[in-house]
Amino acid sequence: MKLGIIGLPGSGRRTLFSALTGNSAQGGSGGLGSVKVPDVRLDWLSALYEPKKTTPASVEFVLPLSNDRTALRQADALVHIVNCFDGSDPTENIVNLNTELLLSDIESVEKRVERAKKNAKGDKKYQAEADTLAALLAHLSAEKPARTFSEQVPELLTGAPIIYVANYDEDGYKAHGELTFDGQTAIPICAKLESELQELDPEEREPFLEDLGIKETGQYALLRSSYSLLGLMSFLTSGKDEVRAWTIKHGTKAPQAAGKIHSDIERGFIRAELVAFEDLKASGDMQTAKEKGLVRLEGKEYIMKDGDVVNFRFNV
């Protein structure tokens, strides 16, 4: 999963990118950073199996150069950082940046419409594309984002799902209310505090958060929201060699989940031997879970569940 970070100048998007990823982004520079997704289930499995390595799921954050729209168009979702300090009006900031994105999409679609019309003159099979793009242009011109259009059109800035992040200073964070835009509640974050958290050892972070009365880090809230927004979940594999979390979409069937590990496993899929994580944890180990009848064999039509601990049987 790749998330593009956007925000008006002064919104704190570079500070937050650095806090989230540990990668610095100064001046007009962009950046790319990966964040490991915390998962207590993975921690428990690692303690049980003591594997050679543990591999959590990860999320990539993209901070584009000031005028670079290409990286954003390739993102799965956009994270809109909103300035909520120094007397700034967050709603006005949101409207202003969304207008910029809309104008960029209108310019892009206008060019596509012209190309499609020229193609349609030579070959009528392009007429449907031209009609769709013309309807999309009218939709955008009415100040409606591409994500609300009846058909999906790739690589449009307003077509991507969006997460709003309200960036406060420390005083504002402690007293913040709820910011809602487009029917979506913004995630409250203090980028400065997130930066300070990065400098602490893991065992020092929880007491630090408790002293501030914070239940979860902004990083974790953002990761959790991105999974929910994009309809994602994790299944788990475990053993002495590796314990690992794999990210898939809700509704994914077992063979396609197996393909996330390797295409050969999907191609030669026979059965999925699996147990729900909570059942495994309650049992204490895999052997006990088997004795209790909690480990199941599922076929090609099985729809994976979040937290399934699975071993795929295959033959190629």
What is the topology classification, in CATH, of domain 91-156? Answer: DNA polymerase; domain 1 (1.10.150)
Residue keyed to tokens 């939709």: 139
Structure tokens at 39: 């998962």
Q: Cα-Cα-Cα-Cα dihedral of 62, 80, 151, 60, to 10°?
A: 20
pLDDT of residue 232: 97
Q: How confident is the model at residue 191 (pLDDT cuts 50, 70, 90)?
A: confident
DSSP 85-124: STT--HHHHHHHHHHHHHHHHHHHHHHHHHHHHHHHHH-G
Query: How far apart are alpha carbons 89 and 30 in whole angstroms?
Result: 26
Check pLDDT > 60 for residue 50: yes
Q: Which residue has the higher pLDDT, 222 or 64?
A: 222
Query: How far apart are alpha carbons 36 and 297 in whole angstroms?
Result: 30
Give the CATH number of domain 251-314; options: 3.10.20.30, 3.10.580.10, 3.30.499.10, 1.10.645.10: 3.10.20.30
Query: C-alpha distances in angstroms, 278 versus 238, 242, 250, 271, 284?
Result: 14, 20, 18, 21, 10
Provide the strand spans (E) within the chain.
Answer: 2-7, 31-36, 53-55, 58-63, 77-83, 162-167, 180-181, 184-185, 187-189, 232-237, 242-249, 269-276, 296-298, 308-314
Percent of the chain with pLDDT over 70: 97
Q: Where are the domains of the chain?
A: 2-38+58-88+161-229, 91-156, 251-314
Check pLDDT > 80 for residue 175: no
Question: What is the homologous superfamily of the domain 2-38+58-88+161-229 according to CATH?
Answer: P-loop containing nucleotide triphosphate hydrolases (3.40.50.300)
pTM: 0.86
